[in-house]
Amino acid sequence: MPSPYRALFAAPGSKGFSAAGFLGRMPLSMMGVGVVTMVSQLTGRYGLAGALSATIALAAAVAGPQVSRLVDRHGQRRVLRPATLVALVAAAGLLAAAHWRWPDWVLFVCCAGVGCVPSVGAMVRARWAALYRGTPKLHTAYSFESVVDEVCFIFGPIISIGLSTAWFPEAGPLLAACFLAVGVFWLTAQRATEPVPHPREHRGGGSALRSRGLQVLVATFVATGAIFGAVDVVTVAFAEEEGHQAAASLVLALYAAGSCVAGMVFGLLHFAGAPERRWLLGVCAMAVSMIPLLLVGNLPFLAVALFVAGLSIAPTMITTMSLIEQHVPRAQLTEGMTWVSTGLAVGVALGSSAAGWVIDTAGARAGYVVPAVAGAVAVVVGFLGYRRLTRPAPRRGGTVEQHSEREDEREDGREERHLA
């Protein structure tokens, strides 16, 4: 590992929470595809399997920001453990309902409960921010976490699908639930690196989404998520049309591998310019990288095109995390990061649905129009909201503490007058 990455782990406790975060994030890439594989094997109903996977994604999009908001207010340990228990109980119910053929509505209720799973990636990034805020190491830490995300998405689906097909249908989701339990409870046991909660800053403060800059980031990443969701669905359909459906997972792994490589290199670089420009350039690069997919003629060409397309993903995500720090008060940092993930989840659901409709209507090759259009939408939103991103919120960096201290003093004064 290059020395800048080794230097990250000089801080006490950093290795422990990073390892726990890796385990806790694996379900993100394993649960949805595991449920699809499990249900399709047990019932043969692919429509039901897809609907259940979408239910998990949408439930996570709704519950995720609320869980993270509570984390910012009360701390990771107090919130993540109960939320994870809810998700684990729901996952157990889902496995039982699928195995014993319970009514479909039970499956949907359980999938909604599974969606309460916390955004472990945001929790780990918040710990890095608490360690290295205001230093170049934070850029490297965010780069490392983007690489971890891609590693999860490369190996998670392969493990989940492989277990469910080679062992027993419930094996993939079951292992995902085990990873979640071990990862979250191990992470929350590490109290020394847990970010300090900010209960007072949240009194009447509203959601982090009130930030105009964050609104731009979330809206752009809804379109970006549509790129990801559409590419996944269309690539599987294209590989099937070519008579090599099993190769789809390898081709999509190269897409993630491109992002992984770019993230590693990006973390070694240090930039002096405004991050807003790098972010907009990254969004444009993602959109442009979708154009070659419209010309795809065979699987080898598709694999190369997707690897190149993946090179723009991690740098854009890393820069996004830096922008969130500028536009969201420190007391709402975890919630702000989770809102971006929520935007991606909503976009994935929209993109996969639109791509499926186009494939059914005009074939797999035509399906690549969907990520191309989504990329164009992301660019338009990015340009329209660029001025908002160049105006950071006044309560950021060192001024957040000053603001918080003034708020605390005012709050204490009000309480003393009330008691008097």
CA distances from 379 to 57, 105, 283, 324, 410 (A): 24, 39, 6, 19, 43
- How far, in Å, CA of 70 to CA of 78, rounded? 9
State the pLDDT at residue 416: 37
Series of mean pLDDT values for 10-residue runs along the chain (420 residues): 75 90 87 79 75 81 83 87 93 93 92 86 87 83 82 78 82 92 94 80 59 84 86 80 75 84 81 81 93 88 92 87 77 76 79 79 86 94 86 47 38 38
- Element containing residue 31 per DSSP (H, E): helix 14-43
Residue type at 193?
T
State the pLDDT at residue 74: 86
Torsional class of 204: left (φ above 0), alpha (ψ -120 to 50), beta (otherwise): left
State the pLDDT at residue 392: 57
- How far, in Å, CA of 30 to CA of 34, rounded? 6
State the pLDDT at residue 401: 37
State the pLDDT at residue 146: 79
Whether the Cβ atoms of residue 282 and residue 386 lie closer than 8 Å to each other: no
Helix axes 333-362, 369-384, angle to 10 degrees: 140
- DSSP assignment of 33-82 equals HHHHHHHHHHH--HHHHHHHHHHHHHHHHHHHHHHHHHHHHH-HHHHHHH
Torsion sign over Cα 166, 167, 171, 176: negative
Tokens of 185: 């409870």
State the pLDDT at residue 45: 73
Domains of the chain by range and CATH?
Answer: 12-188 (1.20.1250.20), 209-394 (1.20.1250.20)
